[in-house]
């Protein structure tokens, strides 16, 4: 029996299950029909702004909203082939979220390396904070 897993080991393990993408790749994917999903909490969205066109889904609702077979899904959750790019603030929580979406059968789910902060630093579109 092995001991407890630390978060760094867990992140490494789940990230081996899919290819993460950088901000430019995420931008290109969104322009080709991928669904960008912002899971940051309200205070960060208020402070830093939003990515235009990104679907905002609180992390605690993500699986319910994106499960294509779920009764609480968003209209954008059209099927298991949907390409989803999960975005958190710095690219940590989004890795765990993408792995959870894989477990639901969303095999094209990934996350943004560096999160929203990397997107903004890359000079990609951001709406002004409210």
Cα–Cα distance for residue pair 61/77, rounded to 1 Å: 13
Structure tokens at 114: 């560096």
Taking residues 94-107, report their average pLDDT.
Answer: 97
Residue 130 has pLDDT above 80, yes or no: no
Backbone angles phi, psi at 69, to 5 degrees: -100, 0
pLDDT tens-digit readout, 32-87 = 999 999 999 999 999 999 999 999 999 999 999 999 999 999 999 999 999 999 99
pTM of the complete model beyond 0.75:
yes
CA–CA gap between residue 4 and residue 66 (Å, rounded): 30
Three-state secondary structure call for residue 66: helix
Q: Is it the case that residue 119 has pLDDT exceeding 90? A: yes
Closest-CA residue to 91 (of 34, 27, 36, 21): 21
Nearest CA among 63, 60, 54, 127 for reference residue 87: 54
pLDDT band at 1 (very low <50, low <70, confident <90, very high): low
The confidence score (pLDDT) of residue 10 equals: 94
Overall average pLDDT of the 113-119 stretch: 98
pLDDT, residue 3, reads: 83
Average pLDDT over residues 8-16: 95
């Amino acid at each position: 029996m092995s001991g407890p897993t630390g978060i760094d080991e867990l992140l490494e393990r789940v990230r081996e299950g899919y290819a993460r993408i950088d901000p430019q790749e995420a931008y290109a994917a969104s322009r080709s029909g991928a669904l960008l999903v912002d899971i940051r909490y309200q205070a960060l969205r208020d402070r830093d702004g939003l990515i235009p066109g990104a679907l905002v889904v609180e992390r605690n609702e993500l699986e319910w909203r994106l499960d294509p077979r779920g009764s609480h899904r968003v209209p954008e959750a059209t099927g298991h082939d949907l390409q989803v790019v999960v975005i958190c603030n710095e690219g940590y929580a989004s890795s765990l979220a993408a792995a959870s979406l894989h477990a639901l059968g969303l095999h094209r789910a990934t996350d943004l390396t560096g999160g929203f902060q990397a997107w903004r630093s890359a000079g990609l579109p951001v709406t002004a904070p409210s």
